[in-house]
Amino acid sequence: MTKISISLAQMRIKLARVEDNLATAEQMISQAASRDSDLVLLPELWSTGYDLANAADYAAELGTGMFEQLAESARANSIAVFGSILEGHGDQVMNCATYHDAAGELRGVYRKIHLFRLFDEHKWLGEGLRPTVMDLPWGRAGLSICYDLRFPELFRRYAVADGAKLMLICAEWPLVRVQHWRALLIARAIENQCFVVAANSCGDTGGTVFAGHSMVIDPWGKVLLEAAEDEALLTAEIDLDEVDRVRQQIPIFEDRRPDAYLTG
């Protein structure tokens, strides 16, 4: 089974209004399930937005608090859910993306490696230490969050070392840099010959306007699905066998020269 139906929950996040955001997320999760989607992506920090000065107050350990509610929503709707919220991890708070399967079981955890200084993440959050790749029923997937998109090394590692065919990205990417968002998503798909699926937030959250433009991109770099700048739920079906076909047609991984890249 290589075909997967994915929904993108492009939310208008309300800063620091956890219950309102949870209600929106649960509504979108339920709607995605009614479309027979296998997986729904939520944006980065979908439950709180960037209220990082109060991050410790929101943070919960895995399996508790908002993580537990997210697992219950996945289980109740029989749909896998991916998105990031604030996690209490030892004495740190992490921007943590989780993948709960359709039974509500926690299958993947990714803590944001690259912290975004323009939003003061480095002042309030701990750095993630390692990439996360998952064996899903449809193929291997690499997990990432927003600013990670600017670091092609992470995605190359997922594609070459880990054999990922699908990149999952949750984000709060501002409208002022929407052209970067679009260009980088397409570039990551083309250079790694993989599907890129990205859910962004939209609208004004605490004085920052977020871009929307959640997207599904195929291994040729073709945009299969793209939201506008308003709240929306979009759904697309993809076939991960297409990755193998593209990689065979233009075998860029076989033609890489790591030995040459290190020479001066």
Instruction: Give the pair of three-digit tokens for residue 28.
Output: 């979108």
Nearest to 145 by CA among 125, 123, 165: 125
What is the pLDDT at residue 262?
82
Helix (H, G, I), strand (E, B) or coil at 111: strand
Question: Hey, which residues does 253 pair with through a beta bridge?
Answer: none
The type of residue at 33 is A
Active site residue 3: no
What is the residue whose two structure tokens read 């233009």? Answer: 250
Write down the catalytic residue from 112, 165, 194, 202. 112
pLDDT of the chain, 264 residues: tens digit per residue: 799 999 999 999 999 999 999 999 999 999 999 999 999 999 999 999 999 999 999 999 999 999 999 999 999 999 999 999 999 999 999 999 999 999 999 999 999 999 999 999 999 999 999 999 999 999 999 999 999 999 999 999 999 999 999 999 999 999 999 999 999 999 999 999 999 999 999 999 999 999 999 999 999 999 999 999 999 999 999 999 999 999 999 999 999 999 998 875
Active site residue 44: yes
Phi and psi angles of residue 43, each rounded to the nearest 5 degrees, phi first: -70, 175
Domain boundaries, the chain: 3-251
What is the pLDDT at residue 1?
75
Instruction: Give the pair of three-digit tokens for residue 109.
Output: 């955890």
Write down the catalytic residue from 14, 44, 172, 194. 44
Nearest to 216 by CA among 44, 1, 7: 7
- Give tens-digit pLDDT for 150-187: 999 999 999 999 999 999 999 999 999 999 999 999 99
pTM higher than 0.75: yes
Write down the catalytic residue from 14, 96, 121, 146. 146
The radius of gyration of the chain's CA atoms, rounded to the nearest angstrom, is: 17
> Which residues touch 47 (CB under 8 Å, ≥6 apart)?
18, 21, 22, 25, 58, 66, 85, 86
Given this structure, which CATH class describes domain 3-251?
alpha beta
What burial letters (b/e) apply to 179-188, b meaning 16+ CB within 10 Å? eebbebbbbb
Active site residue 146: yes
